[in-house]
Structure 1
Amino acid sequence: MTTPTWDPEQYLRHAGHRARPFADLLARVPALPGARPRIADLGCGPGNVTATLAGRWPTAHITGYDNSPEMLDRAHTEHEGPTAGGGRLDFAHADARDWTPEESYDLIVSNATLQWVPGHLDRFADWIAALAPGGTFAFQVPDNIDAPLHALMRELAATPRWKDRLAGVLRRTGSVYDPAVYLDRLARLGCAPDVWRTTYLHVLAGEGPVLDWVKGTGLRPALTALADDPEAREAFLTEYRDLLRGAYPSAPYGTVLPFRRLFAVAVKGD
């Protein structure tokens, strides 16, 4: 899988839909043990949802971590600094593939990031070890790698025209585990886990809205691989757009994109 180059502007075009799962995740996070909580957001992106943590925990010191310079630049510019409740919001470079906390946290949260981290299940032990007793590890990931959105992308990339340019580039099946696997691992690490799935029916507006959505996320590796050849990039997008229109037909009120996500909230034992 190619490490993608991220585009904050494209990602934020559907910010409302993308932020909702994070709000639903936080709604299940219990009270944190610290009076002035220390919080890490792993894979913070442009920082827009990281900033909402200060609404729930106004005195917290919150650090968003990401490995994308483009996303971090946006987060630093728009969200960094003191928060209204007396806390602080800052951002730093880190890669979830090898991030090992150097301090204790009351909450480690990750929003739509771990699907990009091969073997992320094996990182949980280090992260949970860094939680204060009674602290929480919470994450959500897209759980739709077999949906037409991704299946058509992979099928097109494997055709004779594209396979030499895009072989091994895209995220594959197996990048997200079964919910029971997460529950078992979190429980064995001394946590009380709550794991569930939800399917959102996003109603998208505009011309080619499903392509516009995926250009901000799942299609980034292909766009990165074709970045040096604008003509090929546009040809691939045209073919993919036509396939998506057949899989996600428009209606008078918009285009419905079913999108399944997996959630986990794990509270560390005292």
Structure 2
Amino acid sequence: MRTSPVWNPQQYGKYADERGRPFADLVARVQLGIAGEAALDQMSGGAGGGGGGGAALVVVDLGCGPGNLTATLLDRWPSATVHGVDSSAEMIETAQPLANERLTFEVGDLREWTAPPESIDVIVTNATLQWIPEQLDLLPGFVRALKPGGWLAIQIPGNGNAPSHAILRELAGTDPYAEYAAGSSLRADVPGPVEYVAALSAEGCSVDAWETTYSHILQGDNAVLEWVKGTGARPVLQSLPDDLRARFEAEYGARLAEAYPQQSFGTVLPFRRIFAVAQKES
């Protein structure tokens, strides 16, 4: 199995409400097993094709993290079993107390994950594929795992050019950090909605892709530093020896505080996210 950064579920869990909102927005666009006409009417332009008929029986969350969002899929599809996969043993350990007869978790690398063809009703992968440069090459395998009429739902951060990440890459490339950290920060070039439409349409799917910029209002001192320490900055911080890590965090935090000034109401973090929801042909 390939290695990944050692994630800290507690750090990642800070600002859980803000991190969870894109997941909810993503899943809401999957029109499978939606009860009642009213729920369908509330959908704004979901992916074309089969509407809300049928019920999901098997749902997989690829990149499930600590499992708190995965668990919400039990209520979204009450007849389904839900299985979460994540490459981080620490995340899966945190998720395991949530497991029950309908909800299971395992450690696994998305690049190596396979499922029997046409065995899954819904695959969700939220804020995960941005770590995989060859992510578009994985999509055909995900589609093959779906039953006819099944759904694939993807969300990734698209903020690689934001100050939070630009400062991170710049600082990681300077001495004395570059020897350890250069190249460890998240890349800026992730697929956009158009690339997802092209890749998934080529697999015979009906596709709905879009982007949204959230304006999160974060509480606490140097809130953006606390946010990125749980996600984008973690590989860089982890790559540094102990005697440099604190120094890097202090320099990085000072520059973030200048780029994202704290106001009386909190700190505003604009955060672009990219979504794609695709339905496999029946």
How would you bin the TM-score normalised by the shorter chain?
over 0.9
CA offset digits 1:179-230 (Å, max 9, x no partner) = 111101111101000000000000011111000000000011012212xx32
Matching residue of 1:98: 112
Does residue 1:232 correspond to 2:244, yes or no? yes
Matching residue of 2:40: none
TM (normalized to structure 1)?
A: 0.93
Matching residue of 2:223: 209
Partner-residue secondary structure (3-state), 1:238? helix
Does residue 1:135 correspond to 2:147, yes or no? no
Partner-residue secondary structure (3-state), 1:59? coil
CA distance in 1, matches of 2:205, 2:56: 22
CA distance in 1, matches of 2:219, 2:127: 22
| Counterpart contact for 1:34–1:106, Cα < 8 Å | no
Relative to structure 2, which stretch is displaced further, 158-167 or 45-54? 158-167
CA offset digits 1:139-189 (Å, max 9, x no partner) = 100001000010000000111221111122112222x11211110111110
Alignment of 1:181-196 (within 5 A): 181-196=195-210
Matching residue of 1:243: 255
| Counterpart contact for 2:222–2:262, Cα < 8 Å | no
Partner-residue secondary structure (3-state), 2:15? helix
Does residue 1:37 correspond to 2:57, yes or no? yes
Q: CA RMSD in A?
A: 1.3
Report the residue type matching 1:202 in the other structure. Answer: H
| Counterpart contact for 2:32–2:56, Cα < 8 Å | no
Relative to structure 2, which stretch is displaced further, 94-103 or 144-153? 94-103
Partner-residue secondary structure (3-state), 2:191? coil
* 1:28, distance to aligned residue in structure 2 (A): 0.6
CA offset digits 1:19-78 (Å, max 9, x no partner) = 00000001110015664510000000000000000111112110000110000000012x
Matching residue of 1:71: 91
| Counterpart contact for 2:205–2:279, Cα < 8 Å | yes
Partner-residue secondary structure (3-state), 1:269? coil
Does residue 1:259 correspond to 2:271, yes or no? yes
The count of residues paired between Structure 1 and Structure 2 equals 260
* 1:3, distance to aligned residue in structure 2 (A): 3.0
Report the residue type matching 1:230 in the other structure. Answer: D
* 1:18, distance to aligned residue in structure 2 (A): 0.4
CA distance in 2, matches of 1:3, 1:223: 14
Partner-residue secondary structure (3-state), 1:30? coil
Report the residue type matching 1:29 in the other structure. Answer: V
CA distance in 2, matches of 1:105, 1:230: 44
| Of 137, 149, 167, the match for 1:152 | 167
Matching residue of 1:61: 81
Matching residue of 1:9: 10
CA distance in 2, matches of 1:92, 1:34: 27
- Cα gap change, 1:116/1:211 in structure 2, threshold over 3 Å: closer, same or farther? same
Unaligned runs of 5+ in 1: 83-87
Report the residue type matching 2:225 in the other structure. Answer: L
Relative to structure 2, which stretch is displaced further, 161-170 or 123-132? 161-170
